[in-house]
Amino acid sequence: MSATDKLLDVQHVTVEFRIGGLVGGSLLVAVNDVSFSLDEDRPEIFTLAGESGSGKTTLSRLLLRDLEPTRGKVLFEGRDLATIRKRSEFKEFMKKVQPVFQNPFETFSPLRRVDAYLFDTALNFGMAPNHRAAAQVVEDALRNVGLSLEEVSKRYPHELSGGQTQRVSVARALISQPKLILADEPVSMVDASLRMEIVNLFRELRDEQKVSVIYITHDLATAYYISDRIGIMLRGFIVESGPVDDVLVRPFHPYTKLLKESVPEPAPKGRETWAKSITLGTTEVKEYGRVGCKFAGRCPQVMDICREVDPPDVQVERRMVKCYLYTEHAERLSPG
């Protein structure tokens, strides 16, 4: 398959941050040799799931071109994001890749009316020649999220609920008719009764608008509900990825297993198993600095080799697992 068939192609991306002073500082690898891709002609929802400090937010900044990788490449429609230099090129990129942010109360300026952002987007990306035509474009986008211009026009963010604001945020992202929407924890700050509405919206975008979505979350339950494929992140690595029905229903990697088990089930029947006691990780920096598998310190099935060398990516059935437990299933050589 040639690179141009990919909408987004992330190739062995690594992001390193230097923490501490000029002398004696240490290197923090926030994203470590991550690869994944989305196909051009098959819109899907791809979830990047992980806990805080797993590198998922760094990865999202990378995909929005807020950050450049230390090593590796991010290709969007075959073009390396690092080669985007001119403002016109960046604008062309933004037209196709749009973000939806986590905090609906911060997404829009409290001193500006929310519809101003919708009109700005329509006019700046040339979706409409003038304000009057833009109103139609804005109306269409709002209809897609179950709102109307009448409801949001001349309103300030605090006059709308968190759910409404988040829907306006999605509508804004839709105006330029993007091919990819990057949603970073879009429902974590939205009230429970409004949450599923937003989540359902992303499904509709994929099915009706043919937009691919990268859904970044720590919430495995909504991830299962909407996504097609998932990548589980741990301390900068994607440790397991594949179709959600495989990865979340029958997890292979011990970390994915632990994560899945820890999600409290919204029914009292699982109380006993959930209450089984678990080992918690030590401090964050310790796990980042660990040699070999980052999960080795907490893994119930740890082996000697896990503490020595990073595990290889192993293809098992339809999924990829980064774990020595599965190396005999595939004839891939361990690196190094």
Partner 1 sequence: MTLLHVENLCAYYQTELYGISRTVRAVDGVSFELFPNEIYGVAGESSCGKTTLIKVISGNVKPPLKVISGSVEFQFGSYGVDMLHISKEELRRNVRWKQISYVMQGSMSVLNPVRKIIKTFEDIVDTHDQITDKKKFLEQARDHVNRLGLPTEVLNCYPHQLSGGMRQRVAIALATVFEPSLIITDEPTTALDVVVQRGVLQMIKNIQAISRNTVLLVTHDMAVHANVADRVMIMYAGRIAEEAPTETIFNASLHPYTQHLIHSLPMIGERSDKAGLRGSPPNLANPPSGCRFHERCPFVMDICRTEIPEMVSVREQHRVACHLVKENTL
Partner 2 sequence: MLRVIRDLLKYDRRFRIAFIFLMAVAFMFILSFFSPYDPNEIFVVPMDAPPSPEYFFGTNSRGQDIFWWMTFAIRNSLLMGVITAVISRVIAIIVGLSAGYEGGWLDKFLMSINDSFIVLPLLPILILLGFLLRDIMNLFLLGVILGFFGWPYDARLIRSQVLSLRERLFTRTAVFSGTNSFSITMEEHLPFVLPIVFATTINNMLWAIGMEVTLSVLGLSDLTTPSIGTALFWANQHGALVAGVWWWIAAPTLVAIILFLGLYLFFTSINDYIDPRTRLRLVGG
Q: Give the footprint of partner 1 on this chain (CB under 8 A).
A: 51-52, 160-164, 191-200, 218, 220-222, 224-225, 248-249, 258-260, 262-268, 270-271, 274-275, 277-278, 280-284
In DSSP terms, which residues pair with 322 in a beta bridge? 313
Task: Return the range that interacts with partner 2 (CB under 8 A); candidates 5-13, 95-103, 285-293, 322-330.
Answer: 95-103
The one-character DSSP state at 4 is G
Pairing of strands 180-184, 212-217: parallel
For partner 2, the closer of residues 173 and 201 by Cβ is 173
Assess 156 for contact with partner 2 (CB under 8 A): yes
> How far is it, in rounded angstroms, from Cα 196 to Cα 187?
8
Pairing of strands 45-50, 229-234: parallel
User: Scanning the structure block, which residue is given the tokens 């029958």?
Assistant: 250
**What minimum distance in Å lies between the beta carbon of 240 and partner 1?**
14
Q: Which residues, in sequence order, are CB contacts of 184 under 8 Å at separation 6+?
A: 57, 60, 99, 100, 101, 102, 216
**What minimum distance in Å lies between the beta carbon of 51 and partner 1?**
4
**What minimum distance in Å lies between the beta carbon of 107 and partner 2?**
5
Assess 155 for contact with partner 2 (CB under 8 A): no
> How far is it, in rounded angstroms, from Cα 182 to Cα 295?
28
Choice from 19, 116, 278, 303 touching partner 2 (CB under 8 A):
116
Say if residues 199 and 215 touch (Cβ distance below 8 Å). Answer: no
What token pair was written down for 31?
A: 């994203």
For partner 1, the closer of residues 22 and 192 by Cβ is 192
* Element spanning 100, H or E: strand 97-100
Q: Which does 25 bind (CB under 5 to 8 A by kind): partner 2, partner 1, none?
A: none
Q: Which does 111 bind (CB under 5 to 8 A by kind): partner 2, partner 1, none?
A: partner 2
**What minimum distance in Å lies between the beta carbon of 249 and partner 2?**
35
Assess 94 for contact with partner 2 (CB under 8 A): yes
For partner 1, the closer of residues 65 and 260 by Cβ is 260
Say if residues 149 and 139 touch (Cβ distance below 8 Å). Answer: yes
